[in-house]
């Protein structure tokens, strides 16, 4: 399995967005999936199943849980696109969630493919340059961290927790459990 660092994943996500003409937020993740040759289905799964990627005989299918929120489904589709772009080994990827809506190994940060797919999803849905640009604009008007996160999450069509994590990973805010 090939290993990717954060910078390489950021670059691949940016290249993917450029290739499929997704240059403004919110990103249309289904356009990205289609560009990658994957069809997207919304299916009824048990609540602990976020999504599935099946890659077989040259075709790819992403299925996401219809009972999950639209924001969760967007992240799941982006995550499965990450498996495709990063050329992870395997034909079937099943993404369950327990804590943080991922499987136990992802929550414990031990499954490298899942970690990389999550990093790709964050980079795809919240492109670094757009996050920085938008945050700079908002800082001129809003000083409340909670308000900034809420407005940015709404603009990028991601959950507040996903935006919080992205801001910390980009070094734009510090992790703070007391917020």
In angstroms and rounded to an integer, the radius of gyration of the C-alpha atoms of the chain is: 16
CA distance 172 to 128: 10
How does pLDDT run across 85-135, given as a tens digit for each residue? 999 988 888 877 543 333 444 444 568 999 999 999 999 999 999 999 999
| Ramachandran quadrant class, 42 (left: phi over 0; alpha: psi -120 to 50; beta: rest) | beta
pTM, two decimals, is 0.88
Name the percent of the chain lying above pLDDT 90: 70
- What are the extents of the domains in the chain? 6-125, 127-173
Amino acid 97: pLDDT: 55
User: Which overall architecture, per CATH, does domain 6-125 show?
Assistant: Orthogonal Bundle (1.10)
Does residue 125 contact residue 169 with C-beta atoms inside 8 Å? no
Q: Which of 24-33, 35-44, 49-58, 107-116 comes out lowest in average pLDDT? A: 107-116
């Amino acid at each position: 399995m090939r290993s990717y660092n954060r910078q390489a994943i950021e670059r691949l996500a940016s290249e993917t967005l450029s290739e499929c003409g997704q240059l403004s937020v919110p990103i249309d993740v289904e356009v990205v999936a289609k560009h990658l040759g994957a069809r997207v289905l919304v299916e009824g799964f048990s609540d602990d199943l976020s999504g599935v990627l099946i890659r077989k005989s040259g075709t790819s299918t992403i299925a996401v849980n219809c009972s999950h929120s639209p924001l969760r489904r967007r992240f799941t589709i982006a995550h499965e696109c990450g498996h495709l772009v990063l050329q992870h080994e395997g034909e079937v990827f099943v993404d369950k969630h327990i804590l943080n809506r991922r499987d136990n190994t992802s929550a414990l940060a031990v499954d490298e493919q899942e970690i990389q797919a999550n990093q790709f999803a964050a980079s795809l849905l919240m492109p670094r340059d757009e996050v920085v640009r938008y945050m700079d604009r908002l800082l001129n008007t809003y000083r409340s961290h909670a308000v900034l996160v809420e407005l940015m999450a709404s603009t990028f069509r991601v959950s507040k927790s996903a935006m919080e994590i992205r801001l910390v990973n980009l070094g734009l805010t510090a992790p703070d459990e007391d917020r």
